[in-house]
Amino acid sequence: MLRGLFSHYKFGRRTNKFSNMMRKEFFCLSSLAVFQISVLTTAVSCTGTSGADQQEGCMRISFPEDMYKAALQHVELPDTNDFILDIRSSSGETIYSGFYGDSPESLPVPSGSYTVSVKSSDFSRPQFSRPLFGDEQCVVVPSGSVINVRLECRQVNSGIRLRISPDFLEAFPDGVLFVSSDDGRLMYGYNEDRIAYFNPGPVSVVLDDGKGEKTLLTRSLESQEILTIGIQVSDDMLQGEDGISISIDTTRIWTDEDYVIGKDESDKGGNVDDAMSVNQARGNIGAEDVWVCGYIVGGDLGRTSVSFTPPFSSDSNLAIAGRSSVSSRESCIAVSVPAGDIRDRLGLVEHPENVGRRVCVRGDIVEQYFGLVGIKNVTDCVLK
Protein backbone atom coordinates (compact mmCIF):
# COMPACT_ATOMS: atom_id res chain seq x y z
CA MET A 1 0.00 0.00 0.00
CA LEU A 2 2.93 2.33 0.73
CA ARG A 3 4.65 1.54 -2.56
CA GLY A 4 5.41 4.73 -4.42
CA LEU A 5 3.44 6.77 -1.86
CA PHE A 6 5.61 9.86 -1.98
CA SER A 7 6.39 9.85 -5.69
CA HIS A 8 4.44 11.05 -8.69
CA TYR A 9 2.08 8.43 -10.04
CA LYS A 10 1.81 7.87 -13.80
CA PHE A 11 -1.11 6.02 -15.29
CA GLY A 12 -2.48 5.04 -18.68
CA ARG A 13 -5.84 6.36 -19.84
CA ARG A 14 -8.73 4.19 -18.73
CA THR A 15 -11.00 2.72 -21.37
CA ASN A 16 -14.37 3.65 -19.84
CA LYS A 17 -14.19 7.32 -20.85
CA PHE A 18 -16.99 9.47 -22.20
CA SER A 19 -19.20 7.01 -24.07
CA ASN A 20 -21.77 6.36 -21.37
CA MET A 21 -21.66 9.51 -19.19
CA MET A 22 -21.49 7.16 -16.29
CA ARG A 23 -22.31 8.20 -12.78
CA LYS A 24 -20.57 6.74 -9.82
CA GLU A 25 -20.35 6.98 -6.05
CA PHE A 26 -17.08 6.50 -4.30
CA PHE A 27 -17.57 4.73 -0.97
CA CYS A 28 -15.15 3.26 1.53
CA LEU A 29 -15.74 1.16 4.66
CA SER A 30 -13.44 0.76 7.60
CA SER A 31 -13.43 -1.39 10.70
CA LEU A 32 -11.61 1.45 12.47
CA ALA A 33 -13.28 4.42 14.14
CA VAL A 34 -14.12 6.76 11.27
CA PHE A 35 -14.09 10.53 11.60
CA GLN A 36 -16.71 11.75 9.11
CA ILE A 37 -15.88 14.97 7.29
CA SER A 38 -18.36 16.78 5.07
CA VAL A 39 -16.61 20.06 4.52
CA LEU A 40 -15.27 22.89 3.43
CA THR A 41 -13.38 22.67 6.72
CA THR A 42 -13.04 26.34 7.58
CA ALA A 43 -11.40 25.64 10.92
CA VAL A 44 -8.51 23.76 9.30
CA SER A 45 -5.30 25.43 8.25
CA CYS A 46 -3.16 23.97 5.48
CA THR A 47 0.01 25.49 6.87
CA GLY A 48 0.63 22.74 9.42
CA THR A 49 3.49 20.29 9.31
CA SER A 50 3.75 16.63 8.48
CA GLY A 51 6.85 14.51 8.52
CA ALA A 52 8.19 11.00 8.41
CA ASP A 53 8.75 11.06 12.19
CA GLN A 54 5.02 11.43 12.82
CA GLN A 55 2.66 8.51 13.18
CA GLU A 56 0.42 7.55 10.30
CA GLY A 57 -3.26 8.04 9.70
CA CYS A 58 -5.37 6.97 6.73
CA MET A 59 -7.29 8.97 4.14
CA ARG A 60 -10.29 7.77 2.09
CA ILE A 61 -11.93 9.87 -0.63
CA SER A 62 -15.61 9.82 -1.66
CA PHE A 63 -17.99 11.69 -3.96
CA PRO A 64 -21.76 12.17 -3.43
CA GLU A 65 -23.43 10.48 -6.39
CA ASP A 66 -26.42 12.81 -6.54
CA MET A 67 -24.24 15.87 -7.20
CA TYR A 68 -22.45 14.09 -10.04
CA LYS A 69 -25.81 13.05 -11.50
CA ALA A 70 -27.12 16.63 -11.24
CA ALA A 71 -24.08 17.89 -13.15
CA LEU A 72 -24.71 15.32 -15.91
CA GLN A 73 -28.10 16.90 -16.54
CA HIS A 74 -26.29 20.00 -17.81
CA VAL A 75 -23.06 18.83 -19.40
CA GLU A 76 -21.22 15.76 -20.59
CA LEU A 77 -18.62 14.66 -18.06
CA PRO A 78 -16.13 11.81 -18.00
CA ASP A 79 -16.79 8.87 -15.76
CA THR A 80 -15.56 9.67 -12.28
CA ASN A 81 -12.87 7.01 -12.70
CA ASP A 82 -11.26 9.51 -15.08
CA PHE A 83 -11.48 12.55 -12.81
CA ILE A 84 -8.01 13.84 -11.90
CA LEU A 85 -7.21 13.49 -8.20
CA ASP A 86 -4.38 15.44 -6.58
CA ILE A 87 -3.29 15.16 -2.93
CA ARG A 88 -0.51 17.37 -1.55
CA SER A 89 1.01 17.74 1.90
CA SER A 90 1.28 21.09 3.69
CA SER A 91 4.87 21.34 2.42
CA GLY A 92 3.70 20.98 -1.20
CA GLU A 93 4.87 17.38 -1.64
CA THR A 94 2.75 15.33 -4.05
CA ILE A 95 1.20 12.35 -2.28
CA TYR A 96 -0.95 11.25 -5.22
CA SER A 97 -1.56 12.66 -8.69
CA GLY A 98 -3.51 10.68 -11.28
CA PHE A 99 -6.89 9.28 -12.24
CA TYR A 100 -9.31 8.73 -9.39
CA GLY A 101 -10.09 5.22 -10.57
CA ASP A 102 -6.42 4.26 -10.21
CA SER A 103 -6.07 5.65 -6.70
CA PRO A 104 -5.81 3.27 -3.72
CA GLU A 105 -8.92 2.77 -1.62
CA SER A 106 -7.03 3.64 1.56
CA LEU A 107 -4.11 6.04 1.50
CA PRO A 108 -1.80 5.80 4.53
CA VAL A 109 -0.14 9.17 5.21
CA PRO A 110 1.82 10.75 8.05
CA SER A 111 -0.49 12.66 10.38
CA GLY A 112 -0.80 16.29 9.31
CA SER A 113 -2.70 18.59 6.98
CA TYR A 114 -3.31 17.94 3.28
CA THR A 115 -4.92 19.65 0.29
CA VAL A 116 -7.18 17.27 -1.63
CA SER A 117 -8.50 18.34 -5.02
CA VAL A 118 -10.32 16.62 -7.86
CA LYS A 119 -11.31 17.93 -11.29
CA SER A 120 -13.05 16.56 -14.34
CA SER A 121 -10.28 17.63 -16.75
CA ASP A 122 -7.28 19.91 -17.16
CA PHE A 123 -8.34 23.54 -17.60
CA SER A 124 -5.78 26.35 -17.77
CA ARG A 125 -6.94 28.64 -20.59
CA PRO A 126 -10.33 29.99 -21.77
CA GLN A 127 -12.33 27.51 -23.83
CA PHE A 128 -15.82 27.34 -25.30
CA SER A 129 -18.23 24.73 -23.90
CA ARG A 130 -15.73 23.46 -21.32
CA PRO A 131 -17.20 23.61 -17.81
CA LEU A 132 -14.89 22.22 -15.14
CA PHE A 133 -16.31 20.20 -12.25
CA GLY A 134 -14.62 19.14 -9.04
CA ASP A 135 -13.67 20.37 -5.57
CA GLU A 136 -10.75 21.28 -3.35
CA GLN A 137 -10.57 20.84 0.41
CA CYS A 138 -8.05 21.06 3.20
CA VAL A 139 -8.16 18.24 5.75
CA VAL A 140 -6.24 17.17 8.83
CA VAL A 141 -5.35 13.48 9.27
CA PRO A 142 -4.92 12.60 12.95
CA SER A 143 -2.49 9.90 14.01
CA GLY A 144 -3.99 6.40 14.06
CA SER A 145 -7.34 7.44 12.57
CA VAL A 146 -9.19 7.08 9.28
CA ILE A 147 -10.48 10.28 7.67
CA ASN A 148 -13.31 10.11 5.13
CA VAL A 149 -13.02 13.14 2.84
CA ARG A 150 -16.35 13.83 1.10
CA LEU A 151 -15.64 15.85 -2.03
CA GLU A 152 -18.33 17.76 -3.88
CA CYS A 153 -18.96 17.67 -7.62
CA ARG A 154 -19.66 21.30 -8.51
CA GLN A 155 -18.68 23.66 -11.27
CA VAL A 156 -15.40 25.31 -10.32
CA ASN A 157 -14.80 27.56 -13.31
CA SER A 158 -17.01 30.41 -14.56
CA GLY A 159 -18.62 31.29 -17.87
CA ILE A 160 -19.70 34.28 -19.93
CA ARG A 161 -22.04 34.50 -22.89
CA LEU A 162 -22.76 37.54 -25.07
CA ARG A 163 -26.14 38.41 -26.57
CA ILE A 164 -25.27 40.76 -29.43
CA SER A 165 -27.90 43.03 -30.94
CA PRO A 166 -28.26 42.89 -34.78
CA ASP A 167 -27.60 46.63 -35.02
CA PHE A 168 -24.12 46.10 -33.60
CA LEU A 169 -22.92 44.69 -36.92
CA GLU A 170 -24.42 47.70 -38.69
CA ALA A 171 -22.50 50.10 -36.49
CA PHE A 172 -19.25 48.09 -36.55
CA PRO A 173 -19.09 46.15 -39.84
CA ASP A 174 -15.36 45.53 -39.34
CA GLY A 175 -15.58 45.11 -35.57
CA VAL A 176 -14.54 42.03 -33.64
CA LEU A 177 -15.53 41.22 -30.05
CA PHE A 178 -13.31 39.29 -27.64
CA VAL A 179 -13.84 37.92 -24.15
CA SER A 180 -10.54 38.08 -22.32
CA SER A 181 -8.74 37.32 -19.06
CA ASP A 182 -5.12 37.07 -17.91
CA ASP A 183 -5.16 33.41 -19.03
CA GLY A 184 -6.08 34.18 -22.65
CA ARG A 185 -8.87 35.40 -24.91
CA LEU A 186 -11.54 34.06 -27.24
CA MET A 187 -13.07 35.76 -30.27
CA TYR A 188 -16.83 35.99 -29.83
CA GLY A 189 -18.55 36.02 -33.21
CA TYR A 190 -21.82 37.86 -33.75
CA ASN A 191 -23.66 34.56 -34.24
CA GLU A 192 -21.88 32.75 -31.40
CA ASP A 193 -24.18 31.29 -28.73
CA ARG A 194 -21.80 29.05 -26.80
CA ILE A 195 -20.62 29.80 -23.29
CA ALA A 196 -16.97 30.85 -22.96
CA TYR A 197 -15.45 29.38 -19.80
CA PHE A 198 -12.74 31.03 -17.72
CA ASN A 199 -10.98 30.47 -14.44
CA PRO A 200 -12.64 32.60 -11.72
CA GLY A 201 -11.48 36.22 -11.71
CA PRO A 202 -11.75 39.33 -13.91
CA VAL A 203 -13.13 38.79 -17.43
CA SER A 204 -13.37 41.64 -19.94
CA VAL A 205 -15.38 42.24 -23.10
CA VAL A 206 -13.11 43.92 -25.67
CA LEU A 207 -14.11 45.55 -28.98
CA ASP A 208 -11.65 45.85 -31.86
CA ASP A 209 -13.34 48.26 -34.28
CA GLY A 210 -10.57 48.08 -36.88
CA LYS A 211 -8.84 51.18 -35.53
CA GLY A 212 -7.90 49.88 -32.12
CA GLU A 213 -9.13 47.96 -29.11
CA LYS A 214 -11.44 49.25 -26.41
CA THR A 215 -12.48 47.45 -23.23
CA LEU A 216 -16.26 47.75 -22.96
CA LEU A 217 -16.58 46.29 -19.46
CA THR A 218 -14.87 44.04 -16.94
CA ARG A 219 -16.63 41.75 -14.47
CA SER A 220 -15.13 39.61 -11.71
CA LEU A 221 -16.67 36.15 -11.97
CA GLU A 222 -16.88 33.60 -9.18
CA SER A 223 -16.80 29.84 -9.64
CA GLN A 224 -20.17 28.45 -10.80
CA GLU A 225 -21.27 31.79 -12.32
CA ILE A 226 -22.66 31.83 -15.85
CA LEU A 227 -23.02 35.48 -16.86
CA THR A 228 -25.05 36.55 -19.92
CA ILE A 229 -24.37 40.08 -21.19
CA GLY A 230 -26.55 41.87 -23.72
CA ILE A 231 -24.70 44.33 -25.97
CA GLN A 232 -26.52 46.74 -28.22
CA VAL A 233 -25.90 50.03 -30.01
CA SER A 234 -27.67 53.22 -28.99
CA ASP A 235 -29.77 55.27 -31.42
CA ASP A 236 -27.23 58.08 -31.16
CA MET A 237 -24.43 55.83 -32.41
CA LEU A 238 -26.52 54.65 -35.34
CA GLN A 239 -26.88 58.33 -36.20
CA GLY A 240 -23.13 58.84 -36.05
CA GLU A 241 -22.67 59.70 -32.39
CA ASP A 242 -20.84 57.78 -29.70
CA GLY A 243 -22.77 55.36 -27.51
CA ILE A 244 -22.73 51.64 -26.70
CA SER A 245 -25.33 50.19 -24.35
CA ILE A 246 -24.49 47.15 -22.22
CA SER A 247 -27.02 45.31 -20.08
CA ILE A 248 -26.41 42.43 -17.66
CA ASP A 249 -29.12 39.87 -18.26
CA THR A 250 -28.68 37.05 -15.77
CA THR A 251 -26.27 35.14 -13.62
CA ARG A 252 -27.00 31.60 -12.55
CA ILE A 253 -25.46 28.83 -10.48
CA TRP A 254 -25.56 25.66 -12.54
CA THR A 255 -25.34 23.13 -9.76
CA ASP A 256 -28.23 24.63 -7.81
CA GLU A 257 -30.82 24.17 -10.53
CA ASP A 258 -31.75 20.52 -10.06
CA TYR A 259 -30.00 19.46 -6.87
CA VAL A 260 -32.38 18.73 -4.00
CA ILE A 261 -30.89 18.31 -0.51
CA GLY A 262 -32.44 15.48 1.46
CA LYS A 263 -33.86 13.58 -1.49
CA ASP A 264 -35.33 10.28 -0.32
CA GLU A 265 -32.95 7.63 -1.65
CA SER A 266 -35.40 4.84 -0.85
CA ASP A 267 -37.24 5.81 -4.04
CA LYS A 268 -34.18 4.99 -6.13
CA GLY A 269 -33.74 1.82 -8.13
CA GLY A 270 -37.03 1.89 -10.02
CA ASN A 271 -35.27 1.92 -13.38
CA VAL A 272 -31.77 1.54 -14.77
CA ASP A 273 -31.34 5.31 -15.21
CA ASP A 274 -32.08 5.90 -11.52
CA ALA A 275 -30.29 2.85 -10.16
CA MET A 276 -28.92 2.63 -6.63
CA SER A 277 -25.19 2.80 -6.13
CA VAL A 278 -23.33 0.10 -4.22
CA ASN A 279 -23.34 2.34 -1.16
CA GLN A 280 -27.08 3.00 -1.39
CA ALA A 281 -27.78 -0.71 -1.83
CA ARG A 282 -26.11 -1.39 1.52
CA GLY A 283 -28.59 0.99 3.13
CA ASN A 284 -31.63 -0.59 1.46
CA ILE A 285 -31.41 -4.24 2.53
CA GLY A 286 -34.76 -5.91 1.89
CA ALA A 287 -35.60 -3.88 -1.22
CA GLU A 288 -36.99 -6.08 -3.96
CA ASP A 289 -36.91 -5.85 -7.75
CA VAL A 290 -34.59 -2.81 -7.79
CA TRP A 291 -31.71 -1.76 -10.03
CA VAL A 292 -28.20 -1.46 -8.57
CA CYS A 293 -25.14 -0.27 -10.51
CA GLY A 294 -21.47 -0.83 -9.78
CA TYR A 295 -18.19 -2.00 -11.29
CA ILE A 296 -17.35 -5.68 -11.70
CA VAL A 297 -14.16 -6.20 -9.69
CA GLY A 298 -13.98 -9.97 -9.14
CA GLY A 299 -15.66 -13.34 -8.69
CA ASP A 300 -15.19 -16.86 -7.28
CA LEU A 301 -16.68 -15.73 -3.98
CA GLY A 302 -16.20 -17.73 -0.80
CA ARG A 303 -17.23 -17.04 2.77
CA THR A 304 -14.01 -15.14 3.39
CA SER A 305 -12.51 -14.56 -0.04
CA VAL A 306 -12.95 -12.89 -3.44
CA SER A 307 -10.76 -13.43 -6.48
CA PHE A 308 -9.91 -10.12 -8.14
CA THR A 309 -7.83 -11.44 -11.05
CA PRO A 310 -8.46 -14.06 -13.76
CA PRO A 311 -8.64 -16.89 -14.45
CA PHE A 312 -11.97 -17.55 -12.72
CA SER A 313 -13.55 -20.92 -12.01
CA SER A 314 -17.21 -20.01 -11.37
CA ASP A 315 -19.82 -18.16 -13.43
CA SER A 316 -22.51 -18.23 -10.73
CA ASN A 317 -21.43 -15.15 -8.79
CA LEU A 318 -19.43 -11.97 -9.04
CA ALA A 319 -18.42 -9.02 -6.88
CA ILE A 320 -19.26 -5.40 -7.68
CA ALA A 321 -18.02 -2.21 -6.04
CA GLY A 322 -18.34 1.55 -6.27
CA ARG A 323 -15.08 1.98 -8.18
CA SER A 324 -13.21 -0.20 -10.62
CA SER A 325 -9.93 -0.20 -8.69
CA VAL A 326 -11.39 -1.87 -5.56
CA SER A 327 -9.33 -4.80 -4.32
CA SER A 328 -10.73 -5.39 -0.82
CA ARG A 329 -13.57 -7.76 -0.03
CA GLU A 330 -15.15 -5.34 2.47
CA SER A 331 -15.81 -2.78 -0.28
CA CYS A 332 -17.82 -5.23 -2.42
CA ILE A 333 -21.34 -6.54 -2.60
CA ALA A 334 -21.99 -10.03 -3.95
CA VAL A 335 -24.21 -10.74 -6.96
CA SER A 336 -25.84 -14.08 -7.71
CA VAL A 337 -25.70 -14.69 -11.46
CA PRO A 338 -28.58 -16.92 -12.64
CA ALA A 339 -28.15 -19.48 -15.40
CA GLY A 340 -29.22 -18.48 -18.88
CA ASP A 341 -28.76 -15.28 -20.85
CA ILE A 342 -27.60 -13.22 -17.83
CA ARG A 343 -24.88 -15.74 -16.96
CA ASP A 344 -23.90 -15.95 -20.63
CA ARG A 345 -23.27 -12.19 -20.60
CA LEU A 346 -21.78 -11.71 -17.14
CA GLY A 347 -19.98 -14.99 -16.37
CA LEU A 348 -16.33 -14.32 -15.67
CA VAL A 349 -15.11 -17.78 -16.74
CA GLU A 350 -15.94 -17.02 -20.36
CA HIS A 351 -15.71 -13.23 -20.04
CA PRO A 352 -12.82 -12.23 -17.76
CA GLU A 353 -12.66 -8.99 -19.75
CA ASN A 354 -15.80 -7.89 -17.88
CA VAL A 355 -13.66 -7.07 -14.85
CA GLY A 356 -13.54 -3.27 -14.62
CA ARG A 357 -16.74 -2.74 -16.60
CA ARG A 358 -19.81 -1.06 -15.16
CA VAL A 359 -22.89 -3.23 -14.74
CA CYS A 360 -26.46 -2.61 -13.61
CA VAL A 361 -28.43 -5.57 -12.26
CA ARG A 362 -32.07 -5.89 -11.27
CA GLY A 363 -32.89 -8.04 -8.27
CA ASP A 364 -33.48 -8.25 -4.51
CA ILE A 365 -31.03 -6.80 -1.97
CA VAL A 366 -30.30 -9.31 0.79
CA GLU A 367 -28.34 -8.98 4.01
CA GLN A 368 -26.09 -11.97 3.45
CA TYR A 369 -24.70 -13.65 0.36
CA PHE A 370 -21.26 -15.21 0.81
CA GLY A 371 -20.94 -13.11 3.97
CA LEU A 372 -21.56 -9.81 2.15
CA VAL A 373 -24.58 -7.68 1.37
CA GLY A 374 -25.83 -9.27 -1.82
CA ILE A 375 -28.17 -9.12 -4.78
CA LYS A 376 -30.15 -12.28 -5.50
CA ASN A 377 -33.03 -13.27 -7.80
CA VAL A 378 -31.48 -11.23 -10.62
CA THR A 379 -33.89 -10.86 -13.54
CA ASP A 380 -32.11 -8.39 -15.83
CA CYS A 381 -28.74 -6.74 -16.39
CA VAL A 382 -27.17 -3.97 -18.46
CA LEU A 383 -23.44 -4.18 -19.11
CA LYS A 384 -21.78 -0.87 -20.01
pLDDT higher than 70, residue 172: yes
Return the SS3 of 107. Answer: strand
Question: How many CA within 13 A on the CB side of residue 247?
Answer: 8
Fold of 34-155: Immunoglobulin-like (2.60.40)
pLDDT for the residue numbered 113: 95
Report percent pLDDT > 70 for the chain: 77
Assigned architecture for domain 158-256: Sandwich (2.60)
Residue 110 burial class via C-beta count within 10 angstroms: exposed 0-12, middle 13-18, buried 19 and up? buried
Range from 50-59, 83-92, 148-157, 248-257 carrying the lowest mean pLDDT: 248-257
Instruction: Flag whether the pTM goes above 0.85.
Output: no
Per CATH, 158-256 and 265-383 having the same topology is answered: no
Query: Where residue 78 falls among pLDDT bands split at 50, 70, 90?
Result: confident
pLDDT higher than 80, residue 14: no
pLDDT for the residue numbered 54: 57
Assigned architecture for domain 265-383: Beta Barrel (2.40)
- When pLDDT is averaged across residues 247-265 and rounded to a whole number, the result is 37
Domain ranges of the chain: 34-155, 158-256, 265-383
pLDDT higher than 80, residue 84: yes
- When pLDDT is averaged across residues 74-103 and rounded to a whole number, the result is 90
- When pLDDT is averaged across residues 22-42 and rounded to a whole number, the result is 29
- When pLDDT is averaged across residues 324-348 and rounded to a whole number, the result is 92
Query: Where residue 236 falls among pLDDT bands split at 50, 70, 90?
Result: low
Mean pLDDT of the chain: 78
Question: How many CA within 13 A on the CB side of residue 320?
Answer: 30
